[in-house]
Structure 1
Amino acid sequence: MSSSWVLPGAQFDELLRSFRRRAWRWECQGTYRQPAEAEPWRRWRAGEPDDLAWLRPWLDQVAAATREGRSIARVRVFREPPTEYQRWQLEVGEANVAAGEDVRVLPESRARSLGLPTHDFWIFDEARVALMHFEDQQFAGSEIIASPEEVNRYLRWWGTACEHAVPLLAYRHEVIGRRR
């Protein structure tokens, strides 16, 4: 019996809604090109205001999970210096934190020195891992891993990442402070 299977985007979204206790993401690409982000990113690059309406479904989902006692967290691996996309995420990410998501940052050189992976994934309830697959920097689906041995490897990476990552707002203050 196989311990992994491919899950398309819509079914993956259901997994994000249905976890019981904890969902945690390891995010390590320098840029993501999600269709829903194209216009907001263009506006940010042009210095135009953003009402974050495009992000509202996610923020509402995070807030609802938090009210129910469930947690959503992520560690973002940032290039040094951060990519343009990552600089945008430093600003947008404040809304994620306000909604209840624990967002942290780990510099890429530190992630490498710790032997952390170079591919994105989610861990759900410490029981399943969703390896994220991308095509041209766009989410294309995920591969679900449920083998306890494999899941434990990802759990070790999770512990290491969380131990060394910095809260997003502290990282943002440090990066913005250096530019002044």
Structure 2
Amino acid sequence: MDNEWCRTMQAQTAAGKRVGRVRIVDDPPTTGQLYLLNNAKRNAATGEDMRNLWRADAERLHLPAEDCWIFDSRFIALLHFDEADTLLHVELITEPAEVMRYAQARDAALHHSYAFEQFTALVAATQE
């Protein structure tokens, strides 16, 4: 945990701030998704709520396909990628109705997702 990100997350969660994410995962998971799932142990140790949701479940729930970050329920950082998954730019959204739309999607994703430990066990069971 000796890097700036981990120290920052530990300080923020120790101060009572909630930090978390839901990652959408293919079935079977890609090599990159398996790497991120393994890396979630480190993030969770900082206090982050690391969760996962199968892509089929996200689609069934009609969750947005975009990748975004929500900050203090006041603005969205919408990430734009190209076909090679290279980040092109970040769009900041502050319009309240749009922020609420993403917050509702976040709440649905959280409700239907699995904590990373539980999801890791699910992935291991499907690979046997």
Same fold, judged at TM 0.5 (above): yes
- CA shift, 1:100, in A, is 0.8
Please identify runs of 4+ aligned residues in structure 1 that moved more than 4 A: none
- Residue 31 of structure 2 corresponds to residue 104 of structure 1: no
Higher relative contact order (CA 8 A, sep 6+): 1
Query: What TM-score, normalized to structure 2?
Result: 0.92
Structure 2 residue runs without a partner (length 5+): none
Among 60, 81, 91, the alignment partner of 1:113 is: 60
Opposite residue 33 of structure 2, the aligned amino acid is: Q
Query: What TM-score, normalized to structure 1?
Result: 0.66
- CA shift, 1:138, in A, is 2.6
Residue 76 (structure 2) aligns with: 129
Q: Distance in 2 between matches of 1:84 and 1:156?
A: 30
> Secondary structure of the equivalent of 1:71?
coil
Q: Following superposition of structure 1 onto structure 2, how do residues 33-72 of structure 1 map, counting pairs within 5 Å?
A: 56-72=3-19
- Residue 100 of structure 2 corresponds to residue 152 of structure 1: yes
Q: Deviations over 1:79-117 (max 9, x none)?
A: 010001011112111100111110100000000000001
Among 84, 90, 93, the alignment partner of 1:142 is: 90
Q: Distance in 1 between matches of 2:114 and 2:16?
A: 23
> Secondary structure of the equivalent of 1:115?
coil
Q: Deviations over 1:115-150 (max 9, x none)?
A: 001110011111101101224323333111111111
Query: How many corresponding residue pairs?
Result: 127
**Percent sequence identity over aligned pairs:** 33
- CA shift, 1:58, in A, is 1.7
